[in-house]
Amino acid sequence: MSQWYPKKGRVIFHVDMNSFYASVETAYNPKLKGKPLAIAGNPEERKGIVVTSSYEARAKGVKTTMQLWEARRLCPELIVMRPNFDRYRTASKEIFQMLAEITSYVQPVSIDEGYMDVTGTEEHGSPIEIAENLQQKIHRKLDLPCSIGIAPNKFLAKMASDMKKPMGITILRKRDISDKLWPMPIEEMYGVGAKTANKLRKFNINTIGDLANADSYQLKQILGINGERLRNRANGIDSRPVDPEAVHEFKSIGSSQTLAEDTTDDSEIRTLMHKLAENVERRMKRKQAAGQSIQIMIRYHDRKTVTRSKKLHQFIENKDDILYFANELFQKHWNTEPIRLLGITVQDVDEKQNIANQLDLFTYEKEAEKEKLYKTIDELSQKFGKNPFKQLHNNDKSEQPRTSFQKDFLDDFKQ
């Protein structure tokens, strides 16, 4: 078995769930199998954006981030469902628990993908046997498909997992990259977005091979320090370890949401600001964290997006402080045009146990009093179900689903 594991180097898996949200819904309701399905945020209230879709829908041209009206034009029989976040998180937790049964070196990077370092796990078989058994186990127990990339580093494993979907297993060794990787268009390289690809194409860098063989000095002129990093990746060089603790590294915690309709209505904006601040507070509490900067994001009806931030004199963690400073930024920078999306983010975040609070006696007493108040409110909230002192800001509107996930739950599988 040892011949499958290098004496030097690593064996890295990238496990990528296929069409995850749609697959979870199909596993939950088998009547959806074989049918074109799209998961979309707020399909009833806005024409909506496709979050993900089944392979049957993709075959009709339906794509992620496509406007729902366009998706329905391409596929009139399209079934559209709202996201069910709790359902997806439950499935994700079970998947990562299966990965952790093979190795403790598991690094989740999102709700539906993660890395594993299986070096030294000969007792589970060869790398290809481990991948096949894992893929079948996930499919058998959860009825969910996944693709797995096997490689000596994270970048190559990520690229390999994309090469065969759904239910694919691909091995990508360094000796294979000139044949398998280099002919691919530059846009298909992980880490190269549309803007970067456009910059590179202006210099006749059209494939991953062109990037791998490009002049380092020229790349630095085009992309700065990122140019050298991408060139190394194109040559199969990536020294990043699979880090199980990486999920705890966070510098910001935020929440954003698209409005049902573009609006300038103060009441509707105020309601959403309260809700976003509440979401951020909940995530801050979950991480036992506080932050020292606040950022507001405003996306207008024409999709123009403005972000503004402010460094604060103190760390903040509760809703009232988050809302106060976010609203201050909003009032200063909103140009009164109709708003499509709002976001609030607390930045420069760290765990409270790492924050040295150098408070004078007066400040300390004030903070101590507030802590007692917050504790009392939390206790009453647990008893009565909701914060009994909160104003009813949402006017009985049902909670709007969002189309992205925070990473603050990705280590739940360890519990």
* 318: CB partners within 8 A, 6+ apart: 281, 284, 370, 374
Reply yes or no on whether 113 is catalytic: yes
Annotated binding residue 112:
yes
Q: What span, in angstroms and rounded, lies between the C-alpha atoms of 358 and 373?
A: 21
| Active-site residue, from 25, 56, 113, 281 | 113
Residue with the two structure tokens 């990520």: 158
List of E strands, 155-251: 169-171
Could you say which DSSP state residue 410 is in? T
With 0-12 CB in 10 A as exposed, 13-18 as middle and 19+ as buried, what is 249? exposed
Q: Are strands 146-151 and 252-263 parallel, antiparallel or unpaired?
A: unpaired
Query: Could you tell me the two tokens for 218?
Result: 């020229």
Say if residue 166 is preceded by a cis peptide, omega within 30 of 0.
yes
Q: How many other C-beta atoms can be found within 10 angstroms of the C-beta atom of residue 412?
A: 15
Q: In sequence order, what are the beta bridge partners of 116? A: 13, 106
Cβ count within 10 A of residue 391? 7
* Residue 162 assigned as binding residue: no
Please give the sequence-ordered ranges of beta strands (E in DSSP) within 339-411, or none if there are none: 339-351
**Tell me, what DSSP letter sits at residue 207?**
B
Q: Which ranges constitute the DSSP H helices of 101-176?
A: 127-142, 154-161
Residue 331 in tokens:
């009032």
| Phi and psi based region of residue 9 (left: phi greater than 0; alpha: psi -120 to 50; beta: remaining) | left
Structure tokens at 65: 């981030």
Strand partners, 169: 148
Burial class (CB in 10 A: 0-12, 13-18, 19+), 20: buried
Confirm if 148 and 166 have CB atoms less than 8 A apart.
no
Annotated binding site: 16, 112
Which residues are known catalytic residues? Answer: 113
Annotated binding site for Mg(2+): 16, 112
